[in-house]
Chains A and B, each alone.
Chain A
Amino acid sequence: MSALTVDSLELSVAGIPLVTGVSFTVGAGERVGLIGESGSGKSLTATAVMGLLPDEVDAAGSVRLSDVDHDLVGATEKQLARVRGRRMAMVFQEPMSALNPSMRVGDQVAEIMLIHGTRPDKATARAAAVELLGQVRLPEPAETARAYPHQLSGGQRQRVMLAIALANDPAVLICDEPTTALDVTVQARMLELIRTATEERGTALLFITHDLAVVAQTCERVLVMYGGRLVETGSVKEVFTAPKHPYTRGLLDASDLEAVDEHGRLRTIPGAVPGAGEFPGGCVFRNRCTDATGDCAEAPVLSEVDDRGFACWNPVGGPA
Chain B
Amino acid sequence: MNVIEVRDLHRVYRRPRTSLTVPGTRVEALRGVSFDLPRQARFGVVGESGSGKSTLIRLLAALDKPTSGTISFQGKDITGLPERRLKFLRRELQVVFQDPMGSLDPRMRVRDIICEPLVAQGHSDPAGRLKELLDAVGLPQQSADRFPHQFSGGQRQRISIARALAPNPSVLVADEPVSALDVSVRAQILNLLADLVERFSLTLVFVSHDLSVVRHVCDTVAVMRSGEIVEMGAAEEIYESPQHSYTRELIAAVPTLRTAMRRFA
Residues of A within 8 A of B (CB): 37-39, 154, 183-188, 191, 210-214, 216-217, 236-237, 240-241, 250-252, 254-258, 260, 264-269, 272-273
Contacts and interface: CB of A to CB of B under 8 A. Distances in A.
B209 A183 contact: yes
B255 A211 contact: yes
Nearest to A210: B182
Contacts, number: 99
Nearest to A211: B183
Interface string B175-218: 00000001111111011001100000000000001101101100
Instruction: Give the interface SS of chain B, mostly helix, strand, loop or mixed.
Output: helix
B49 A217 contact: no
B253 A185 contact: yes
B263 interface: yes
A26 to B, nearest CB: 20
- Which of A39, A187, A216 is the most central at the interface, judged by chain B CB atoms within 10 Å of its CB? A216
A210 B183 contact: yes
Contacts of A266: 187, 190-191, 216
Contact of B256 (A188, A241, A258): A258
**Residue among B49, B187, B264 having the largest count of chain A Cβ atoms under 10 Å:** B187
B250 interface: yes
A217 B263 contact: yes
B257 A38 contact: no
Given A214-B260, A268-B184, 7 more contacts: A39-B152, A188-B253, A210-B183, A216-B255, A216-B260, A256-B258, A258-B258
A55 B78 CA distance: 55
Nearest to B190: A266
A142 B149 CA distance: 44
B226 interface: no
B253 A187 contact: yes
Interface string B46-76: 0011000000000000000000000000000
Contact of A255 (B152, B183, B250, B264): B183
B210 A184 contact: yes
Given A183-B49, A216-B261, A266-B216, A37 B182 contact: yes
B249 interface: yes
B153 interface: yes
Given A213-B255, A213-B257, A241-B261, A257 B216 contact: yes
B194 A265 contact: yes
Contacts of A217: 255, 260, 263
A56 B35 CA distance: 55
B155 to A, nearest CB: 7
B152 A272 contact: yes
A255 B182 contact: no
A264 to B, nearest CB: 7
B234 interface: no
A266 B187 CA distance: 6
Contacts of B257: 212-213, 216, 240, 252, 255-256
**In the complex, the 7 A-B pairs of residues with the closest C-beta atoms, listed nearest first:** A216-B260, A213-B255, A266-B187, A254-B187, A237-B264, A183-B48, A188-B253
A142 B169 CA distance: 54
Contacts of B195: 265
Contacts of A250: 184
B119 interface: no
Contacts of B27: none
A272 B185 contact: yes
14 contacts: A37-B184, A184-B48, A184-B209, A184-B253, A191-B255, A213-B260, A216-B261, A240-B261, A255-B187, A260-B216, A266-B191, A272-B152, A272-B154, A272-B185
B261 A267 contact: no
Interface in B216-265: 216, 249-250, 252-261, 263-264
